Structure 1
């Protein structure tokens, strides 16, 4: 009987320690926005091979270590950006996202800062090995990631524009790398920019009172609800206009053509939900737009596979 008690005592701390380590790992992944980084990495690979890279074979693309290096640096920079953003937004997140904040509390903020510096240095080191131009590209990217979290995230309109621009910055880099400049690519970039901008503004409507309490000047807490509703509705109408132009003028066909055609219905639905302008309809609109971005990545993937075959 005594030996059983002793075994339980020795096993309990070990299991508790294992749970604590696992909680620290989950806390780090959540704090670094790992899953967002994974989705952006997938989107980067899909867009790079099927949109920007028109001539290179799949075999050549696989062994193009410079491209993989750039995407690797992008992933590390995004992870570092997620860490520094949660560091500055910790008090706000404690109210808006209590569950996520509780998970992150298993790791000291000091260690998050160490991870931020480590990821940033590794990213710049790899970028410098690739070329000095790539190094400068990522140095600018990291600076604005930090500056957004430190200052721009609290500034009216600039917070939304900077956030979306930083999200699309790596895609712009790939477009420059492959010198893929065309009206079709430009319009698709405008489409994605506007959808992401819409998502960010709708997200701000859900945290309106908290943002105001913590000194974040956003469109929803700086203007009347009708003004915010009008801005979101106008953006959705412009997104529909860009979709029509892509279908009619740029000859988008196949799976991507169906995506933009179906997008007209999706945006019309979002406009209807925005007119209602309740917390429930705003939450539904936010998730519909996020889901539609993910569907767009899949549509590009399957459309590219169809064209390559």
Structure 2
């Protein structure tokens, strides 16, 4: 294998380890929130020349990427069974290189955070510690693992809200909706982890309580998701994004049916990807919160 090919393989491996697709989605979500939620009275040029905003995004993707790397270390044995192809690709990069990238990304996140403000620096330092605590300790306990990783998953989405100092009732309600949706995804992932966990002597909710009982938990979560959905639809600020929330009338029952008949790992993988699509739709639906913003910027030829 020539040097160029080796470099390409390493880049692909790191992209896989840091879950590049999630990082790209997070980046898009932060910029869409900045453009369509918090800076509706500014031109796109004014938003995009705000270098502090770019530092917030860069810090966030750095710390989240490092989190995926450290999690890759602790989940290596399970992933080798449940995700053999992904594990094989990830192994194109040595553990030493992964560790170097991990510490480098954490350093970048903290330094950029301190440049933004000391509060941002403290936030990113705390987030780095929480990710380590989860990977090293919390994930050993099935229910704690699911609850804590769901919190860690949604925190990066709300860094941008903190940056613009706009924590409203709408934002909190949306945060609850997102948390329950991510929690739902993590419960489904618990079904996927069962085989690898069993062979590596790790505990999951499915192995501890059985598939049927854990499915009941998911049914309850799906029912709870209707509560923030109802209140979100009552906020006029939601705008055309309400159609995204209305879509739960369709995907909710469909998900329920698919979960009820799910038996194999392939079925749970399908459900996991089903929820990924719902999350991706939610990210891009941020641009529908105020469609007049999009229309004005198009008519002004985006003024850039």
- For residues 102-113 of structure 1, the aligned pairs below 5 Å read 102-113=88-99
Could you tell me how far 1:260 is from its partner in structure 2?
0.7
Q: Identify the range of structure 1 (166-175 vs 197-206) with the bigger mean alpha-carbon deviation.
A: 166-175
Q: Identify the range of structure 1 (174-183 vs 98-107) with the bigger mean alpha-carbon deviation.
A: 174-183
SS at match of 2:236: coil
Is residue 284 of structure 1 aligned with residue 270 of structure 2? yes
In the other structure, the counterpart of 2:6 is 20
Number of residue pairs matched?
294
Question: Where do 5+ consecutive residues of structure 1 fail to align?
Answer: 1-14
- Equivalent in 61, 64, 67 of residue 75 of structure 1: 61
In the other structure, the counterpart of 2:241 is 256
8 A Cα contact 1:204 1:218, kept in partner:
yes
- For residues 75-154 of structure 1, the aligned pairs below 5 Å read 75-154=61-140
Could you tell me how far 1:195 is from its partner in structure 2?
0.7
- For residues 190-229 of structure 1, the aligned pairs below 5 Å read 190-229=176-215
8 A Cα contact 1:199 1:289, kept in partner:
yes
8 A Cα contact 1:209 1:221, kept in partner:
no
Could you tell me how far 1:277 is from its partner in structure 2?
3.1
- Equivalent in 26, 33, 38 of residue 47 of structure 1: 33
Q: Which has the larger radius of gyration?
A: 1
In the other structure, the counterpart of 2:259 is 274
Q: Deviation per CA, 1:125-152: give whole Å up to 9, x if none.
A: 2222222111101000111111111111
- Equivalent in 1, 15, 24 of residue 38 of structure 1: 24
Q: Partners in 1 of 2:12 and 2:2 — Cα distance?
A: 15
Q: Partners in 2 of 1:281 and 1:252 — Cα distance?
A: 37
Q: Partners in 2 of 1:26 and 1:85 — Cα distance?
A: 18
